[in-house]
Amino acid sequence: MKQTKFLVGAATAAHQVEGNNKKSDYWAMEQLPGSNFSEPSLDAADHYHRYKEDLQLLADTGANAYRFSIEWARIEPQKGVYDETEIAHYREVLLTCHQLNLTPIVTLHHFTSPKWLITEGGWEAQTTIAYFRQYAQLIAERLGDLIPYVCTINEANMGKQIRKLIEGMQAAAQQAPEAATEEKTADLQIGLNELQANDERAIFNQGLADSFEIAPDKIQTFLAPRSEAGEAIIMACHQAAREAFKAIHPETQVGITFSLYDHQALPGAEALAEAGQQADFLDYLPYLEADDFLGVQNYTRKIHALPGQAVPEEPTRMTKMGYEFYPEALGNVLQAVAKQWHKPILVTENGVATDNDAERIEFMARAIEGVAQAKAAGVPVIGYCYWSLLDNFEWQLGYAQTFGLIAVDRKTQTRYPKESLAYLHQIVEKMQNS
């Protein structure tokens, strides 16, 4: 496929915007007593019914791309049972994209899974590889003629990042029990609450066991801490989906996305930054050799220091998610990735949670400047998708995190486009003329 225009658009994920994803594992977890979700997703932004309105607002800016996910739990609500109504729904979404000249960038799996998959062992079970291949093949057969870009799995490295965070918390608890609760899940590029107290966790785990009819320690959702065997299963799922799609639509560009930090080091801590880059990205390169592009997702940087090394005290702007406000991270990540990856790169997520839309526009302007600099330096970046199109359900943090270019009154589902949505037009002009 020949890339003719730089892709500029916005991204969403099905569970975070569609609403009523009742056959998924996350819907089940949100409803449980003792759940560490701040609130359930419920109707979300009702994008399931209002996607035409939302996509028109995006297209009106001059944007030419829309990244979204197809919800596996809707397509296959029971193992081996496919819902024709849902397949037809996503076909209509794809057709709408094409009618509005929005290039669809489709993600096959964005964190949520069919509830039945978890009862079968989830993302630590070898059987999931065949199940995911069958799902990818179905999408290719029924919808692939309308899909030019496929991201098989969103943030395939997130389970590893969660495991490392928990290991760090456990180590801190052993060294200084009174300080163990100070570890922050803001160190992850996803909306997770702090770990629950033991009594809350026990109630939640029992609810999980009852809901999934499986022992709590056997429940392996996509965002559970992942073993090395689970890492291999994730990447085998990616390869299986890629093969399935390419067998039917060889022209479709297939890739995967990763959560990537701008790893920086204070003097002497360079090896720590290199280890972070190795774990987040470089370890996965052998699995990506046949991919067509790489999806890069970045929100901030991570500064590495030696134990006891003082981090310079400077006034630091923070986002609502608790991240450092550092838009330059994206350009740095692109240049770092390009040292080892020489195929096309697509920025599949980059954004900021803030109630100040002027701050959002500033973030976008500074981030896209880094993209432009990387492109001018020869980095093969082909597109930029802001996260997210709509104020959405940010996982365990609920609806308080406002990333969107469009605000949503969830009582009436009325859309209120922000000035930052119109700013996409300037990004289009800047990147397509660069």
Residue 124: how many other CB atoms lie within 10 Å: 18
Residue with tokens 């770092």: 336
Cα separation, 383 vs 365, in Å, equals 15
Residue 168 maps to a domain:
yes
Indicate if 155 belongs to the active site. yes
What tokens were used for 384? 């930029």
Q: How many domains does the chain have?
A: 1
Q: What CA–CA distance (Å, rounded) separates 366 from 90?
A: 34
Residue 401 lies in a domain: yes
Which of 317, 322, 327, 339 is closest to 427 using CA atoms? 327
Range 245-259 burial, b when 16+ CB lie within 10 A, else e:
bbeebeebbbbbbbb
H-run or E-run covering 205: helix 198-212
d(C-alpha 311, C-alpha 314), whole Å:
9
Residue 2, domain member (yes or no): no
Q: Give the pair of three-digit tokens for residue 420.
A: 């930052």
Could you please report the per-residue DSSP string of 69-81? E--HHHH-SBTTB
> To the nearest 5 percent, what fractions of the chain are helix, strand and coil?
45, 15, 40
* Domain harbouring 82, CATH code: 3.20.20.80
Q: Is residue 1 part of a domain?
A: no
Residue 231, Cα to own-chain centre: how many angstroms? Answer: 17
Residue 102 counted as domain residue: yes
Candidate list 76, 86, 124, 155, residue with the active-site label: 155
Ordered per-residue pLDDT tens for the chain, 434 residues: 445 699 999 999 999 999 999 999 999 999 888 788 999 999 999 999 999 999 999 999 999 999 999 999 999 999 999 999 999 999 999 999 999 999 999 999 999 999 999 999 999 999 999 999 999 999 999 999 999 999 999 999 998 888 887 777 666 666 665 544 444 556 788 888 865 545 555 666 677 778 888 887 778 999 988 999 999 999 999 999 999 999 999 999 999 999 999 999 999 999 999 999 999 999 999 999 999 999 999 999 999 999 888 776 766 899 999 999 999 999 999 999 999 999 999 999 999 999 999 999 999 999 999 999 999 999 999 999 999 999 999 999 999 999 999 999 999 999 999 999 999 999 999 998 88
63 is in which domain, residue-wise? 7-432
Of 93, 83, 91, 89, the residue nearest 114 (C-alpha): 83
Whether omega before 388 lies within 30 degrees of 0, making that bond cis, reads: yes
Q: How many residues does the chain have?
A: 434
* Global pTM value: 0.95
